[in-house]
Structure 1
Amino acid sequence: MAETPERKVIAPTAAETSPDNPWPLQLLSQKLKAHIEKAPPAWVEAQVIELNQRANVSYLTLRDIDAEVSLSVTIWGSVLSRLEAPLERGSRVVAQLKPDFWLKTGRLSMQGQDIRPVGLGDLLARIEQLRQALAAEGLFDARRKKPLPLLPHRIGLITGRNSDAMKDVVRNASLRWPAVEFEIREVAVQGVNAVTAVIGALAELDADPRVDLIVIARGGGSLEDLLPFSHESLVRAVSAAQTPVVSAIGHEADRPLLDEVADLRASTPTDAAKRIVPDVGEELRRVDQARTQLNRRIHDLLDRETERLAYLRSRPVLANPAMMLSTKYDDVSALTGRARTAVRTQVGRHADQLTHLQAQVRALSPQKTLDRGYAVVQLEDSSIVRLPEQVHTGSPLRIRVAGGTFTATASSGEKPSGAIETLERTDTTAKESA
């Protein structure tokens, strides 16, 4: 009896397979299909970049709004028939996708179970919501705005490749100020790469110390085309830039958020060129006006000072400077004469007083009394005889008269007549006066 070959035991998991015990390809495909079918459907937002309709099925290519990522989607005609308007290439949509694995060929595809266009109202509502959130953070505060340089030497320009906006800015700015220089970065200004490209160019120009001002310009467009300029990442990048930024998107109906955060908003690229550099012709006219006013004021000042000098020179003290010295000389001479007169008067008055006093002194002196015939009698001890009792008979006496002195001897001590008393009184008066 023939032996039956042993039956292989299939590995329960992929990790347990080996070269000696592999899985059949069918088993791997079945397990992949079972795993993928467990994934729930997901809603995504994207942009339709390709649309191929065939009978009852359509093939779409969706691309991410902010990144270079795309995905093929298969959608049945019954799903598209529910839309109010036909789906077009470039439309922004939200779609419910579920992965599907085709077992026979091993192909993975995405099945669109539902799809809805994102209307302008929805986009505007999202932008307005983001506007309020960023405003609450203070990103749009006027105090954060940086002043533009009066005369930028080099201007950084971020714009589309070979765009009319670039030509408008460069041409009008150069006409106004021919010496201005530009550092141009031509990047995508719409589509999925616009945000990344503009932020990269902004960072490069902001890091260049030669760039005094940055202009982000685009020549208008639809709301969908301008969505990158309301992207939160771009708004925050402009807010963080150290170099002043000018927004020149050229869309008056719906202002992108870039206009709110920029240090200056220009209505169009041409308007930006007029506002970032002065007009050389106008500045030259202002210089001429300032020079004319300065010359006029200088001439007026010189005329006033000339008149003032003429007036000062006409004054007597400047017309004849010696007059001031003559006047002072006369004043000094008059004062000198008055001083000498006063001195002589005082000397004469005091001399008269001195003569009068000398006469009084002489009239009252003992010598004058002697000159009138009186005498002074002294005893031997030089004491003056005032009373008769002081003199005894035979006492030597010394007698002073006007012409001199002589001696005598007392012959009697009797009191004589009143002559002696008169002499005594006179002598006493003379001594007191002396």
Structure 2
Amino acid sequence: MTLPQGQSPENPFPVRGVAVRVAGWIDKLGSVWVEGQIAQLTLRPNSNTAFITLRDPAADMSMSLTCPRDLVVNAPVKMTDGTQVIVFGKPTFYTGRGSFSLRVSEIRAVGIGELLARIERLRRLLEAEGLFDPRLKRPVPFLPHTIGLITGRASAAEHDIMAVASGRWPAVRFAVRNTVVQGPNAVPQIVEALRALDADPDVDVIVLARGGGSVEDLLPFSDETLCREIVRCTTPVVSAIGHEPDNPLCDLVADLRAATPTDAAKRIVPDTAAEQALVGELRHRSAQALRNWVKREQHLIAQLRSRPALARPLDAIEARAEEISRTRAAGRRDITRLLAAESDRIGHLAARLTTLGPAATLARGYAVVQTVPPSGPAGVLRSVAEAPRGTRLRVRVADGAVLAVSEGEFEPEGKAGQ
């Protein structure tokens, strides 16, 4: 199977064939309106054709334009590098050189009103996305060690910032990136410098500085690409563009807006003399506060010491000691009285027991007679019948006991004669 021409090394297109086909495809695009910035304008003396390089301010892209010389020379607004224009032309591919160009038949310069309207539309867009939210603002360090500075080469803004910052804090250091600050090449160079400083770990804060100028001069600082790059930075960014009335969009997305480059230096670098004066004042205030506190505490201690509880701390103990002594004496007296009463009661009970006991009875002349059997315990003799003749008896008297033998029942003499 034979492949179509250009689809195999055996059947290639000639150069002219590719050029003609590309020209045909591009020709089908028709005429278009294109907007951009003039990056380079060339008017050759002996040529009726003007050559223009038109670039996209938001991207590193450009294209070549050709137009009649009179279209540039007789334009109502002077065409120079950096002018924002809208052109109408037809894309053309030149087969002889193999180059692409846009053949322009109409050029319109974008006026100030249109530029401001576009900036306002971009401002509303960025605001709707939340890029102006104060919560996204990164705090600027109190004393930055190294300041990244993006500004024009040998510009007044660079001189002012470095002079003021060094005068306020001599130890501060700078990492300077000089770029174009107006025109078609400003945005790419500023973005590149911003990325480099943001990646530098020694840089604590980045200052974007430029002196005042017209709306066209400050147009790069309202560019969408630059604004979004500022938001993406992890290092705090300070915008010091123009003078007080100037307000490009980078002021709104930056972490801190300074009215002028000099104001930026004052706001990010503390003043040595002012800080020393503040330290001195704080030391004086702290010393005075400490003295006042000591005086208050001394007065409080004096008041506490003057109170009876601390002035005579033993008074309460002595008063309690007397009360305790009285209570102890009363307790001893009551106990002694109770013991005496109980002793008397016990004596009376002992006397009664003594009186009622067998010993007292024996002392009055009575005796206790017990039978003493040959075995077993002795028993009290309660009847004469229990002591027949020959019964051994033990007679207990007050001072002891005697043994006796019963002779039988005792019969009185009168009763025995009967």
1:402 paired to 2:392: no
Equivalence for 1:94 = 86
Equivalence for 1:64 = 55
Q: For 1:11-410, what aligned pairs fall within 5 Å after superposition?
A: 15=13, 38=27, 40-48=30-38, 49-50=40-41, 59=50, 61-66=52-57, 67=60, 71=64, 73-75=66-68, 77=70, 85-90=76-81, 91-98=83-90, 111-250=103-242, 253=245, 255-310=247-302, 344-345=336-337, 347-379=339-371, 381=373, 382-387=378-383, 390=386, 398-406=394-402, 407=404, 409-410=407-408
- Larger mean CA deviation between 370-379 and 240-249 belongs to 370-379
Paired letter, 1:43: W
Paired letter, 2:242: G
Q: CA deviation at 1:144?
A: 1.8
Summarize deviations over 1:295-340 as a string: whole Å, max 9, x none.
Answer: 1121122223334455566678877899899888878877776676
SS in 1 for 2:214: coil
SS in 2 for 1:190: coil
- Larger mean CA deviation between 192-201 and 255-264 belongs to 255-264
Question: Following the alignment from structure 2 to structure 1, what is the Cα–Cα distance between the partners of residues 295 and 324?
Answer: 41
- Unaligned runs of at least 5 residues, structure 2: 1-10
SS in 2 for 1:255: coil
Q: 1:16 to 1:208 in 2, by over 3 A?
A: closer
Paired letter, 2:148: G
TM-score by length of 2: 0.75
Q: CA deviation at 1:178?
A: 2.9
Question: Following the alignment from structure 1 to structure 2, what is the Cα–Cα distance between the partners of residues 389 and 191?
Answer: 163
1:412 paired to 2:405: no
Summarize deviations over 1:126-151 as a string: whole Å, max 9, x none.
Answer: 33333333334333332221111111
Question: Following the alignment from structure 1 to structure 2, what is the Cα–Cα distance between the partners of residues 372 and 148?
Answer: 125
Paired letter, 1:228: P
Q: CA deviation at 1:373?
A: 2.6
Question: Following the alignment from structure 2 to structure 1, what is the Cα–Cα distance between the partners of residues 371 and 342?
Answer: 43
Question: Following the alignment from structure 2 to structure 1, what is the Cα–Cα distance between the partners of residues 275 and 87?
Answer: 58
Q: CA deviation at 1:375?
A: 3.1
- Unaligned runs of at least 5 residues, structure 1: 1-12, 18-26, 418-434
| Contact 1:51–1:58 under 8 Å retained in 2 | no
Q: 1:35 to 1:185 in 2, by over 3 A?
A: same
Q: 1:43 to 1:53 in 2, by over 3 A?
A: farther
Number of equivalent positions: 392
SS in 2 for 1:299: helix
Summarize deviations over 1:57-98 as a string: whole Å, max 9, x none.
Answer: 6735344243585746332648986x6x34443432112234
Question: Following the alignment from structure 2 to structure 1, what is the Cα–Cα distance between the partners of residues 96 and 360?
Answer: 180
Paired letter, 2:270: P
Q: CA deviation at 1:401?
A: 3.6
Question: Following the alignment from structure 2 to structure 1, what is the Cα–Cα distance between the partners of residues 384 and 390?
Answer: 13
Structure of higher CA gyration radius: 1
Equivalence for 1:426 = none
Q: CA RMSD in A?
A: 4.5
Question: Following the alignment from structure 2 to structure 1, what is the Cα–Cα distance between the partners of residues 232 and 96?
Answer: 54
TM-score by length of 1: 0.72
